[in-house]
Amino acid sequence: MVSSAFRTVRSEEIFGAARDLMPGGVSSPVRAFKSVGGQPIVFDHVKGAYAYDVDGNQYIDYVGTWGPAIVGHAHPEVLGALHQALDKGTSFGAPCLQENILARMVIEAVPSIEMVRFVNSGTEACMSVLRLMRAFTGRDKIIKFSGCYHGHADMFLVQAGSGVATLGLPDSPGVPKTTTANTLTATYNDLEAVKALFEQNPNEIAGVILEPVVGNAGFIVPEAGFLAGLRELTREHNALLVFDEVMTGFRLAYGGAQQRFGITPDLTTLGKIIGGGLPVGAYGGRRDIMEMVAPAGPMYQAGTLSGNPLAMTAGIKTLEILNRPGTYEQLEKITKKLADGLVQVAHETGHAACGGQLGAMFGLFFTEGPVHSYEDAKRCDLAKFSRFHRGMLEQGIYLAPSQFEAGFTSLAHTDEDVERTLEAARAVLAKL
Ligand code: HOZ
């Protein structure tokens, strides 16, 4: 636990050198702490619910490597399986048995998935699923929602969440207007806006893609009837419904948001948890659609490292652990205690705040709320979030360094961790 002797000398040295070597000193923008200020912490190792930095500070970690660490970091069973797999080689570039095993587990778990293709990241899964939506329908336009993030492929960098929202960037330079001309955007939770887009673009829209529960504009849940309404509208217009469950898959329930809400999309993207901490993404869905993917069909998509035995092994073991009795009840209980506790502590210390939780995912906004969309989320007190984030860091609590990211818990987080977190929050918020 970080004490009054919070020192970050080594982190500063290492990050200082990184700045000269890599743009912004990082391999992915949000990690640079730009929106919350101060130097990022350089990690040395992770275990269970904790992260340890290069200065010897320990943190209760609610980022969980941005989602994959749902069974806890460096779980002994995952590491054991990986050690065995390592001895057989790191990559085959040929079919392996582990792909079948993980594919079967994913198909059995996720209601919409009858066939699956493994790729190497959530970005890759989403860019591939977009090509598939277009190939299957013969239409070019898609609808996405502001604040939803579907990776960094050109056609999704329109009012995107996550790092784009965190850094307050306009749509990225380098993305040709012609590439995004077919990306229509609507406000999340606004069914009427989607209806209007369908009416204005008859027979032109391939489908609607969304995070069924948003995690890249902060944590935002769908209002009653929103997902069902999208399901109806897409059917009515012969368009596809795609759930980007890169964050929510295996996190809100074993079968993801679609199982939890009882709405089955046509296609789904996955990532994070299904790789157990190694780089994996996947897209899958109805068999008749997936059979368009090469070499079964004409829609081309490929990858040298896709389905590699190490990543498949980590995913298999992670899902095996998650599928044991009681895991989701435990995740729900601990995460609810944390999310409710944070809002309560904020109110008791005199701050406007709202938040929520589903499964092992949570959020806290410094605003009266309610927050139903990215437009609402942008109205929250970002300066206060920055000070809260820094204060929590100094208390040994590692939160996502952006108001526009969700928080993640794991099976390794204990009641005691949550109580320590709430105590820290009380101490920090009382001084803000
Ligand atoms: N886009 C990721 C969160 N939504 C951040 C990934 C990272 O920085 O590792």
Average pLDDT rounded to a whole number, residues 204-233: 98
Q: Which of 53, 244, 266, 376 is catalytic?
A: 244
Domain at 228, CATH number: 3.40.640.10
Average pLDDT rounded to a whole number, residues 91-98: 97
Q: Is residue 67 part of a domain?
A: no
Q: Is residue 68 part of a domain?
A: no
Average pLDDT rounded to a whole number, residues 84-92: 97
Model confidence over 209-221: pLDDT tens digits?
A: 999 999 999 999 9
Average pLDDT rounded to a whole number, residues 73-101: 97
How far is ligand 1, taken at its centre, from the CA of residue 123, in Å?
Answer: 11
Instruction: Report pLDDT for 161.
Output: 80
Best of 22, 26, 28 for a ligand 1 pocket test (most atoms within 8 Å of beta carbon): 28
How far is ligand 1, taken at its centre, from the CA of residue 151, in Å?
Answer: 9
**Structure tokens given for 94:** 């040929």
Do 284 and 355 lie in one domain? The reply is no
Instruction: Report pLDDT for 38.
Output: 85
Kindly report the number of other CB atoms within 10 A of residue 232's CB atom.
Answer: 15
Model confidence over 336-367: pLDDT tens digits?
A: 999 999 999 999 999 999 999 999 999 999 99
* Residue where a domain terminates, one of 322, 340, 372: 322
Q: Is residue 301 part of a domain?
A: yes
Q: Which amino acid is at 250?
A: F
Average pLDDT rounded to a whole number, residues 61-83: 98
Average pLDDT rounded to a whole number, residues 89-111: 98
Our answer on whether the CB atom of 216 is closer than 6 Å to any ligand 1 atom is yes
149: annotated active-site residue:
yes
Give the chain's domain count.
2
Our answer on whether the CB atom of 405 is closer than 6 Å to any ligand 1 atom is yes
Q: Is residue 71 part of a domain?
A: no
Our answer on whether the CB atom of 27 is closer than 6 Å to any ligand 1 atom is no
Q: Is residue 1 part of a domain?
A: no
How far is ligand 1, taken at its centre, from the CA of residue 27, in Å?
Answer: 10
Q: Are 375 and 146 in contact (CB under 8 A)?
A: yes
Do 91 and 29 lie in one domain? The reply is no
Do 16 and 159 lie in one domain? The reply is no
Atom of ligand 1 nearest to the CA of 29: 8
Q: Write the residue with the smallest CA distance to atom 9 of ligand 1.
A: 28
How far is ligand 1, taken at its centre, from the CA of residue 338, in Å?
Answer: 22
Do 34 and 144 lie in one domain? The reply is no
Our answer on whether the CB atom of 66 is closer than 6 Å to any ligand 1 atom is yes
Residues above pLDDT 70, as percent of the chain: 98
Our answer on whether the CB atom of 162 is closer than 6 Å to any ligand 1 atom is yes
Our answer on whether the CB atom of 163 is closer than 6 Å to any ligand 1 atom is yes
Best of 63, 66, 248, 402 for a ligand 1 pocket test (most atoms within 8 Å of beta carbon): 66
Model confidence over 290-330: pLDDT tens digits?
A: 999 999 999 999 999 999 999 999 999 999 999 999 999 99
Do 285 and 379 lie in one domain? The reply is no
Do 150 and 199 lie in one domain? The reply is yes
* Residue where a domain terminates, one of 271, 290, 322: 322
Closest CA to 59 of 387, 421, 427, 334: 421
Do 317 and 330 lie in one domain? The reply is no
Instruction: Report pLDDT for 1.
Output: 53
Q: Are 405 and 395 in contact (CB under 8 A)?
A: no
Model confidence over 118-176: pLDDT tens digits?
A: 999 999 999 999 999 999 999 999 999 999 999 999 999 888 887 777 666 667 788 88
Q: Which of 50, 59, 62, 149 is catalytic?
A: 149
Atom of ligand 1 nearest to the CA of 149: 4
Which residue range is the domain that position 370 belongs to?
9-62+326-429
Do 266 and 403 lie in one domain? The reply is no
Do 92 and 44 lie in one domain? The reply is no
pLDDT exceeds cutoff 70 at 3: no
Burial (CB < 10 A; 0-12, 13-18, 19+), residue 4, is exposed
Instruction: Report pLDDT for 167.
Output: 67
Atom of ligand 1 nearest to the CA of 161: 4
Instruction: Report pLDDT for 170.
Output: 60
Domain at 422, CATH number: 3.90.1150.10
Model confidence over 394-417: pLDDT tens digits?
A: 999 999 999 999 999 999 999 999
Do 275 and 344 lie in one domain? The reply is no
pTM of the model: 0.96
Q: Is residue 69 part of a domain?
A: no
Residue 356: C-alpha distances to residues 217, 336, 363, 397 (Å): 13, 8, 6, 19
Q: Is residue 304 part of a domain?
A: yes
Separation between Cα atoms, residue 359 and residue 253, nearest integer Å: 6
Q: Is residue 70 part of a domain?
A: no
**Structure tokens given for 121:** 């990241």
Atom of ligand 1 nearest to the CA of 163: 1
417: annotated active-site residue:
no
Do 366 and 311 lie in one domain? The reply is no
Strand order through the sheet with 58-61? 43-47, 50-53, 58-61, 397-398
* Residue where a domain terminates, one of 280, 298, 322: 322
Q: What angle do CA 27, 29, 32 make, to 5 degrees?
A: 90
| 3-class secondary structure per residue, the chain | CCCCCCCCHHHHHHHHHHHHHCHHHCCCHHHHCCCCCCCCCCEEEEEECEEEECCCCEEEECCHHHCCCCCCECCHHHHHHHHHHHCCCCCCCCCCHHHHHHHHHHHHHCCCCCEEEEECCHHHHHHHHHHHHHHHHCCCEEEEECCCCCCCCHHHCCCCCCHHHHCCCCCCCCCCHHHHCCEEEECCCCHHHHHHHHHHCCCCEEEEEECCCECCCCCECCCCCHHHHHHHHHHHCCCEEEEECCCCCCCCCCCHHHHHHCCCCCEEEECHHHHECECCEEEEECHHHHCCECCCCCECCCCCCCCCHHHHHHHHHHHHHHCCCCHHHHHHHHHHHHHHHHHHHHHHCCCCCEEEEECCEEEEECCCCCCCCHHHHCCCCHHHHHHHHHHHHHCCEECCCCCCCCEECCCCCCHHHHHHHHHHHHHHHHHC
Q: Write the residue with the smallest CA distance to atom 4 of ligand 1.
A: 162
Q: Are 432 and 342 in contact (CB under 8 A)?
A: no
Best of 30, 41, 220 for a ligand 1 pocket test (most atoms within 8 Å of beta carbon): 30
Instruction: Report pLDDT for 5.
Output: 75
Average pLDDT rounded to a whole number, residues 180-185: 92
Kindly report the number of other CB atoms within 10 A of residue 304's CB atom.
Answer: 8
Do 221 and 251 lie in one domain? The reply is yes
